[in-house]
Structure 1
Amino acid sequence: MGFLRRRWRALSGVAALAAVFTLVPAVGVFAEQKASFDPGDIISDDSFFNPNSMTQADIQKFLAARPCKPKDGVPCLSRYRVDTPDVAASPERCTALRGQRNERASNVIARVAAACTISPRVLLVLLQKEQSLLTAPSASGYQKATGYACPDTAECDAKFFGFFNQVYRAAWQFREYTVHPGDWRYRIGKNSIQYHPDATCGTSTVTIANQATANLYNYTPYQPNAETLAKPTGPAGACSTFGNLNFSRLYNAWFGSPLAVRFAGFVPACLIYTGGFGCEPVRPFDGG
């Protein structure tokens, strides 16, 4: 499948996630307790952009360890395989990818993470946040895996359906936000961010601390309100949205604090594409 090369501006909504998963809590993954959440600092740049946080073997082992109850006769993600296409390099965003037949989902995640310099942990959390794909996969979930091109106020764009397509486009989009931050609505600094797609639910000013957090808001443009933070597993109120809160809580439950950094005060220039396509791998990714 070919991929569009033009940029998608902030108001297009193409990368906004599906409304059904914005508005519902994630349950069964973490304890029901009041959430600790800083809306301006959801994840560190280092945690977001580190493609070497997991190898393909690490990802496969992680997927196999998730309790999984699939629907529609589909396999769990640890057993899911798909034919993938050749994808040309996208300057400043992702290096080229060569297609493979019968490729494991874990290998897709590892290769896309490496090509686009995005942490595979971020992609794993995104797959769960959007479609519960690690614990309750469905046929529809594989088609809309990362919620890419599924805006809150319209139907999903079917030309972006498919597991590989969704994983690649989400990673590509995060890179687009990063290399052209001025083209997108949410940026480092003070931003007015809604609590819900219904504007009457209100907004507040959020000081976004880093590019990684700005990326999450450009992808999922809402913050949780006080009621949502007090009841992070529901029931949902009329103005509740859970998307970015679910991202934070899932990441913390699976990988530890999303605010962690390997080297305090230092982010390699390659992680934010100062000098090209991103960082050279610290260790090779296993095929499979």
Structure 2
Amino acid sequence: MRAPSVPSPARRRRAHRSTAASLLAALGIGALVALGALPTTPAAAASSQLSRTQTTPTPTPSPSPTTPSTATPKPTKPATPAPGKPAQPAPPTVRGTDFDPGEIISDANFYDANAMSEADVQAFFASQTCTPKDGVPCLADFRASTESVPAAEPGHCEAYRGAVNESAARIVAKVAHACGINPKVLLVLMQKEQSLITGPSEYGYARAMGWGCPDTGPNFSASCDADYFGFQNQVYRSAWQFRQYTLYPLNVPGESYQRAYHLGSVYIQYSPDAACGGTQVDIRNQATANLYLYTPYQPNAAALANVSGTGDACSAYGNRNFWRLYTEWFGPAV
């Protein structure tokens, strides 16, 4: 599920347009591409080992009938083991009972901008099973010319220098460093929003991170604003938004509203439908508050009982899927 544009559960992201006016003017990016299935882990392949062999020739009789001679065996060179693919560790077992709504991911993990290099991101894209649609490339092969974005205020995102024909891995790595957000967080976000890593599509590339897609359409569907379409546009705006939440955890100076999700006890719904209910959640760190501000729902018991599948009519999956994907791909989120 994609959250609304303003701080309230019904509107998530639109509240920051006045604050981000200069940023929005700098970004007029449209790109293609995402949607798909959940990731799979490559099966481990074991190396094969050839056995050593040794032969002994038949003894040749000695000219002397009383002193038989036995030939010395000639050792053979040990066989070289056949090359094999290194075994890959099995993904951690993810159980719904381990989900903690008050700390979905640690601050240390969320803000580690150096967790992956550009080469690491590229290798990650290449390692995933990808089935593209609409004739678009997988992220390992995606390239786009990008636009420059000026630095925001102190403590916010640094400048992004645009370039011609940048890879998706370079765009992710540059945005992560500019805004101080872990590249892993951005990778998980694009998968949970649009399945962009395993099943990219033209629709998905345009809405890669679900930014500007509040749940205000029919039956709480996403109502995306085309002004915010494009891969670089989406990746940068999502990281910019997380930095904005972090810099101003309660409210943006000059604006009267208070953020709906912050440290402390907060009521969080199970889905966009208020009739489905919710519970008080003790949010214990800013990274978790950021995720609720971006996608303002917690998984209900049905969603956690089937942690890799569907729950019931009142289930929302965004923050559950973020936690599950991060854990499966990169290890414990906390």
TM-score (norm 2): 0.70
Structure 2: distance between partners of 1:218 and 1:192: 12
| Among candidates 209, 220, 226, match of residue 284 of structure 2 | 209
Q: Secondary structure at the match of 2:282?
A: strand
State whether residues 196 and 208 of structure 2, in contact with CA within 8 Å, keep that contact through their aligned partners in structure 1. yes
Opposite residue 220 of structure 1, the aligned amino acid is T
Structure 2: distance between partners of 1:252 and 1:235: 18
Residue 33 of structure 1 and its aligned partner are, at CA, apart by: 6.7
Q: Secondary structure at the match of 1:10?
A: coil
| Among candidates 162, 169, 186, match of residue 123 of structure 1 | 186
Q: Are residues 1:141 and 2:204 paired? A: yes
Residue 140 of structure 1 and its aligned partner are, at CA, apart by: 0.5
State whether residues 195 and 241 of structure 1, in contact with CA within 8 Å, keep that contact through their aligned partners in structure 2. yes
Structure 2: distance between partners of 1:26 and 1:205: 32
Q: Secondary structure at the match of 2:314?
A: coil
Structure 2: distance between partners of 1:33 and 1:168: 30
Q: Secondary structure at the match of 1:206?
A: strand
State whether residues 39 and 198 of structure 2, in contact with CA within 8 Å, keep that contact through their aligned partners in structure 1. no
State whether residues 92 and 331 of structure 2, in contact with CA within 8 Å, keep that contact through their aligned partners in structure 1. no
Opposite residue 112 of structure 1, the aligned amino acid is V
Larger radius of gyration: 2
Number of the residue aligned with 2:121: 59
Residue 236 of structure 1 and its aligned partner are, at CA, apart by: 3.2
Taking a change above 3 Å as real, the CA distance of residues 167 and 15 of structure 1, as seen in their structure-2 partners, is farther
Structure 2: distance between partners of 1:9 and 1:32: 35
Structure 1: distance between partners of 2:123 and 2:309: 31
Opposite residue 7 of structure 2, the aligned amino acid is A
Q: Secondary structure at the match of 1:60?
A: helix
Structure 2: distance between partners of 1:78 and 1:46: 27
Q: Are residues 1:179 and 2:247 paired? A: yes
Residue 233 of structure 1 and its aligned partner are, at CA, apart by: 2.6
Opposite residue 67 of structure 1, the aligned amino acid is T
Residue 107 of structure 1 and its aligned partner are, at CA, apart by: 0.2
Residue 235 of structure 1 and its aligned partner are, at CA, apart by: 3.2
Structure 1: distance between partners of 2:113 and 2:37: 25
Number of the residue aligned with 1:74: 136
Q: Secondary structure at the match of 2:250?
A: helix
Number of the residue aligned with 2:235: 167
Q: Are residues 1:10 and 2:7 paired? A: yes
Q: Secondary structure at the match of 2:266?
A: strand
Q: Secondary structure at the match of 1:217?
A: helix
| Among candidates 224, 228, 241, match of residue 156 of structure 1 | 224
Aligned length: 244
Q: Are residues 1:256 and 2:331 paired? A: yes
Number of the residue aligned with 1:109: 172
1:35-74: per-residue Cα shift (whole Å, max 9, x none)? 2200001000010001000000010001100000000000
**Where is the helix percentage greater, Structure 1 or Structure 2?**
1
Residue 32 of structure 1 and its aligned partner are, at CA, apart by: 9.2
Number of the residue aligned with 1:84: 146
State whether residues 27 and 233 of structure 1, in contact with CA within 8 Å, keep that contact through their aligned partners in structure 2. no
Q: Secondary structure at the match of 1:123?
A: helix
Q: Secondary structure at the match of 1:191?
A: strand
Q: Which protein, 1 or 2, shows the higher relative CO under an 8 Å CA cutoff with sep ≥ 6?
A: 1
State whether residues 39 and 128 of structure 2, in contact with CA within 8 Å, keep that contact through their aligned partners in structure 1. no
Question: For structure 1, which segment, 162-171 or 177-186, has the greater mean C-alpha deviation from structure 2 after superposition?
Answer: 177-186
Taking a change above 3 Å as real, the CA distance of residues 83 and 229 of structure 1, as seen in their structure-2 partners, is same
Residue 14 of structure 1 and its aligned partner are, at CA, apart by: 2.1
State whether residues 52 and 114 of structure 1, in contact with CA within 8 Å, keep that contact through their aligned partners in structure 2. yes
| Among candidates 194, 198, 212, match of residue 269 of structure 2 | 194
Calculate the aligned-residue CA RMSD, in Å.
1.9
